[in-house]
Structure 1
Amino acid sequence: MRRRLLALCCASAFLAAGCGMLPGGSERHTVTVWLMKGSASQDFLDRFTEDFERGHQDIRLEFRIQEWTGIVDKVHKTLRAGSGTGPDVIEVGNTQVSQYVEGGKLTDLTLESMRDWGKRTWLPGLAEPGQSGSRQFGIPWYAANRVVIYRKDLFEQAGINRPPRTRDEWLADTEKLNSGGNQGIYLAGQDWYTLSGFIWDEGGELADETDGLWQGTLDTPAALRGMDFYRRLQALGAGPVGADEEHPPQAGVFADGKVAQIVAVPGLTQSVLQQNPELKGKLGYFPVPGRTTGRPGSVFTGGSDLVVPQNTDDPDGAVAVVAALTGAKWNTELARTMNYVPNKTTLASAVDGAEGVAAMAAGAAHGRATPNTPQWTAVEADNPIKEYMTRVLGGADPQTEARRASERITEALAPSLG
């Protein structure tokens, strides 16, 4: 209920006692927060609300849960609405922020983030997509990313006593695991998110911006080295070169019992164990290895940022909610409750007790997101990276195919003339 409704409700002194009036006559007003379905449990929201309202006695919190399907159009619509008619805080996917920055409909939170919110220790895969130029519009909330899920028993049978720490060790171990009818790794040919990490590790990019114009960069030497490593790793298993990790779902392939490793988010093990309960206690996790010991590989970071619409009629209340949700106390609590990676590298120790989440946190310190442009959705709509990967894995010339894919990316990222 917005302030104007409270004003109507409390028009008479007779009704004031039941309309959120605080001692001394001040009015308690509502801050509305849109969160995505599944991002936070009801128990977490109840505990957060009780704590927040105790410390902000002039605010009543209202959480409204949204579905991911159709959310982009719904957010655009509410951002265009009149003042006070929509939510005051919105959870958005980290790679969606650039779509909402266009048109100037989000509140610039740069000063708050630099002064009070520990910006220097934010996960880069959440912080960078929340920026436009030097301004911060999206505030990191939580993250998740891929790790290597592995069969501890198959590693032991192959004489491997610990997870690999470098990419060279990873290749050597995976080759050892190809024995007794087992696949050392199942890696689908079009898993472009995993490829992205290898490209970033080599110093390459999917696309780069110069003077406001984007162009695909898969044909740079660094990006080609990332693809070459992907090719060598993928060849150590029997993953289909013409499909991604969902075709067939790799959880089912892993559950069949003949695969030693997959690259996926830790939560996928729930599906694996549902399909094959005999694997309980046999699964482990480690960060995607990097080029050198002591530094995990780069990974694509998924997750959410919090934004404040410019049409909020309570910017101070909205900022207070964002500060609390993304602050150390409740961000740590959210991570522990939901098995997420906290929004800061300095909070990673909060999830040390959960093997899969700890592996994610190690990788998230070097995480990245897709190129920070609203046009990137056009790239993914008809993804040339997938076709490029399939062609190279099928034996085509990498340089030629990378150049072709880069040209298609450049075309998709070109500014619309309409």
Structure 2
Amino acid sequence: MTAARRRRWRRGAAGVLAAATVLTLSGCGGDSTGGRVTLRMVAADYGDSKANSSQKYWDRLVEDFESEHEGIEVDVTVLDWADVDKEVAEMADRGEAPDIAQIGAYADYAAEGKLYSADQLLSIPAQADFLPGLAQAGEVHRTQYGLPFAASTRLLFYNKTLFEKAGVTGPPRSWEELRQAARALEDAGVKTPYALPLGPEEAQAETMMWMLGGGGGYTDNINSYVIDSPENVRTFEWLRDEFVGEGLTGTDPGGLNRQEAFDAFARGEVGMLNGHPTLMRQAEQGGVKYGMAPLPGREGESEVAMGVADWLMAFKENGHRKQVGTFLDFVYGEENVRDFSERYDLLPVTNSASEAMRADEGNEHLWDFLDQLPAADFYPSDKTSWAQVSRDVKAKAGSLVRDGADPAGVLSEIQRDAARAETAVR
């Protein structure tokens, strides 16, 4: 397939993509084996500009794959994160699912019987190469449907120049030290002492980091929702009263999205924030002299790191199991996994690529993040209700910390909705 032809199925309005899907996706179930096959894939964009769009990565990878596999063509459409989950959901609801989707959640599709399992797709070496914690996070009822594609952990980023200006000598290790550092930054005239992005873009991540730091989390050790646990309630009461209420976040957290916070840090306007590896490059491009440290917890450094994984999944609808498996074995080759991870400063999801990056001093800036990954806590992505719960958290997280907020009431409402969603999908 030529590059010009491939570009015909690119990003655009939902209606245009829907029309293209109707015209190009092949029909029914089964395992298509005859003739040439064109696989349709929808993927998320990890770039922050056209210059480093993920489309370039996929175009290069597909070109290499097609040169080695004459009977299989792959057409990849890359969409912004703001659109991609919704777009794939609408395609699946219309009965027009792509062969492959690279998005944020998989379990609801698995519960509906729409996905191939990992062992139906991948060779044994490819499946065995996933990091164990990530492979387990991709399971529903002990069968893996979600294929981890990219991962990250979080560290506290701080602006060394602003710290020096405020007389702060090192990164905070506890919430009280964090509050004191933020107060010193505010007194020194820093616009945003601490950026707390609880806006809808990625509030579920910021929320989980604070829950873990306070000894709580979304689920307990038997994977039941405990969103309104006493530990979580105390966490957001502290944020409301001791942090946001003291004016240490510079703006209403509920109106601040993650990318906006990252952009402000890269402009030198933010003293501290929780960040993932891609913030390093953005901060360097902005000329910000920054440091990184483990996330503070209630009494000291947070005992549990948060990990995030994005997922690949293969829909049964078009009956291209064999061809999809061939392509995915290629996608998960060590060189390709490492290329994507290094391109976007993300963490590889396979043992082979992780070991290679850990041994390469050129990736030393990622080592602290890599070291956290094996023992990190992940979203409860294996729960078929998680997609809905995540949407609820994104919508309501900002209201947890506003003046006069009732964290116990808000968290109880989210917990009740989560319990209903979990019951409904069983």
TM-score (norm 1): 0.69
Is 1:63 aligned to 2:75, yes or no?
yes
Q: How many residues get paired?
A: 374
- Could you list the per-position Cα deviations for residues 15-44 of structure 1 after superposition, in whole angstroms to 9, with x for gaps in the alignment? xxxxxxxxxxx9974452414253564553
Sequence identity (%) = 20
SS at match of 1:63: strand
Deviation at 1:139, TM superposition (A): 0.9
In the alignment, residue 263 of structure 1 is paired with which amino acid? N
Q: Call closer, same or farther: CA 1:115–1:248 in 2, change over 3 Å.
A: closer
Is 1:327 aligned to 2:333, yes or no?
yes
Q: Is the 8 A contact 2:172 2:181 kept in 1?
A: yes
Deviation at 1:45, TM superposition (A): 3.6
What are structure 2's unaligned runs of at least 5 residues? 2-32, 47-52
Give the alignment partner of residue 44 of structure 1, picking from 46, 57, 60.
57
Is 1:262 aligned to 2:273, yes or no?
yes
Give the alignment partner of residue 389 of structure 1, picking from 393, 400, 405.
400
In the alignment, residue 287 of structure 2 is paired with which amino acid? K
Name the counterpart of 2:150: 142
Deviation at 1:332, TM superposition (A): 0.5
Deviation at 1:216, TM superposition (A): 5.0
Matches within 5 A, 1:51-90: 51-53=64-66, 56-57=68-69, 59-67=71-79, 69=83, 70-76=86-92, 80=95, 87-88=98-99, 90=100
Distance 1:256 1:42 in 2: 27
Deviation at 1:106, TM superposition (A): 1.1
Q: Call closer, same or farther: CA 1:350–1:133 in 2, change over 3 Å.
A: farther
Is 1:282 aligned to 2:324, yes or no?
no
- Could you list the per-position Cα deviations for residues 123-182 of structure 1 after superposition, in whole angstroms to 9, with x for gaps in the alignment? 74x545532110001211113455433212122344555545566654554454443222
Is 1:153 aligned to 2:161, yes or no?
yes
Name the counterpart of 1:4: none
What are structure 1's unaligned runs of at least 5 residues? 2-25
Is 1:222 aligned to 2:239, yes or no?
no
Matches within 5 A, 1:185-200: 185-188=194-197, 191-200=203-212
Matches within 5 A, 1:177-192: 177-182=185-190, 183-188=192-197, 191-192=203-204
Q: Call closer, same or farther: CA 1:48–1:240 in 2, change over 3 Å.
A: closer
Q: Is the 8 A contact 1:149 1:285 kept in 2?
A: yes
Name the counterpart of 1:316: 322
SS at match of 1:333: helix
Q: Call closer, same or farther: CA 1:58–1:413 in 2, change over 3 Å.
A: same
SS at match of 2:424: coil
Deviation at 1:197, TM superposition (A): 1.9
Bigger helix fraction: 2
Q: CA RMSD in A?
A: 4.4
Q: Call closer, same or farther: CA 1:200–1:50 in 2, change over 3 Å.
A: same
Deviation at 1:220, TM superposition (A): 1.7
Deviation at 1:352, TM superposition (A): 6.3
In the alignment, residue 76 of structure 1 is paired with which amino acid? A
- Could you list the per-position Cα deviations for residues 110-135 of structure 1 after superposition, in whole angstroms to 9, with x for gaps in the alignment? 477794236585274x5455321100
Deviation at 1:237, TM superposition (A): 1.1
Distance 1:73 1:298 in 2: 30
Name the counterpart of 2:111: 102
- Could you list the per-position Cα deviations for residues 231-261 of structure 1 after superposition, in whole angstroms to 9, with x for gaps in the alignment? 5454571344562423994356546755311
TM-score (norm 2): 0.68
